[in-house]
Amino acid sequence: MLNILVVEDDNKLRQLFCTVLTRNGYHALAAEDGQDALAILDKEYVDLIISDIMMPHMDGYELTRTLRETNYNLPILIVTAKESFTDKQRGFLVGIDDYMVKPIDVNEMVLRVGALLRRAKIINERKIECGTTLLDYDSLTVFLQHEDSIILPQKEFYLLYKLISYPNKIFTKHQLMDEIWGMDSESDEHTVVVHINRLRERFKACTDFEIITVRGLGYKAVRLS
């Protein structure tokens, strides 16, 4: 059973989140603030954290920063009343994985927890199979049929890995720029177009996947086998 740590100073909300998670097959652990959460993490293995931001002693930002600085890579979902773009930006910059604004739909929260756990599994394994094609994150290598392999430039590999990790999901050029090149990159969105075209040329004979342009929106990878 997967362990979910709920870090929330509001007792009623904390109990609600834990109850909903338990009903959906998770083992819920409860903490009142960031310091309490760190104490639990010293004793228990946790697969994912759901945390408020505004808490006494140690808030959600500080908790996230502390965990990332000590190489905890587990997914962190922030659930908070702070709704400004600045608040969200600060959260993502310190290392959170997802952000929900109160009041929330607890059923949506459960869906997001499931998605974050699936994503974490992909990242931890650092390999993706797509038909007979295998992407190895650590070596930036794509293994094709008949034992052929291609070592890609870093950005090309990360772009392909991202798209194939979420088949049929549309990513805008802006989203891909921010994630692959970074929010402070001086490159423009044409860079994404160039890299997509290179990937298409490299894998034009591959029968396992195709990168599709969704006009006016962005790109998605479609698994063909």
CATH number for the domain harbouring residue 103: 3.40.50.2300
pLDDT at position 165: 83
Give Cα separations from 52 to 93, 96, 102, 116, 174 (angstroms).
16, 12, 10, 17, 28
Please tell me whether residues 54 and 140 are part of one structural domain. no
The answer on 98 and 171 residing in a single domain is no
Tell which of 76, 95, 124 closes a domain: 124
Q: Helix-strand-coil percent breakdown of the chain, rounded to 5?
A: 45, 20, 35
Report the predicted TM-score, pTM, of the whole model to 2 decimal places: 0.58
134 shares its domain with 172: yes
Contacts of 206 (CB under 8 A, 6+ apart): 133, 144
Q: What is the mean pLDDT of each run of 10 residues along the chain (225 residues)?
A: 92 96 93 94 90 94 92 91 92 94 94 89 78 91 86 95 88 87 80 96 93 94 88
Of 76, 102, 124, the domain-final residue: 124
Pair 102, 36 in one domain: yes
Reading the block at residue 88, the tokens are: 């969200």
Of 89, 124, 159, the position where a domain reaches its end is: 124
Single-letter amino acid code for the residue at 101: V
Are residue 9 and residue 114 in the same domain, yes or no? yes
What was the pLDDT predicted at 14? 96
Domain match, 77 and 32 both: yes
Report the CATH number that the domain containing residue 208 is assigned in CATH: 1.10.10.10
Pair (30, 50) in one structural domain? yes
Domain count, the chain: 2
Let me know whether 175 and 67 are in one domain: no
Q: Which domain holds residue 81?
A: 3-124
Rounded Cα distance between 76 and 65, Å, is 11
Residues 34 and 120 in one domain: yes
Decide: helix, strand or coil at residue 91.
helix
Distances 15 to 32, 141, 182 between C-alpha atoms, Å: 11, 45, 37
DSSP assignment letter at 222: E
Neighbours of 197 (CB within 10 A): 11
Distance CA 134, CA 119 (A): 17
Query: Among 116, 117, 209, which residue's Cα sits nearest to residue 164?
Result: 209
Same domain? 16 vs 94 = yes
State whether 54 and 96 are in the same domain.
yes
| Residue 103, preceding peptide bond in cis (omega within 30° of 0) | yes
pLDDT score for 122: 67
Please give the structure tokens belonging to residue 2.
């997967």
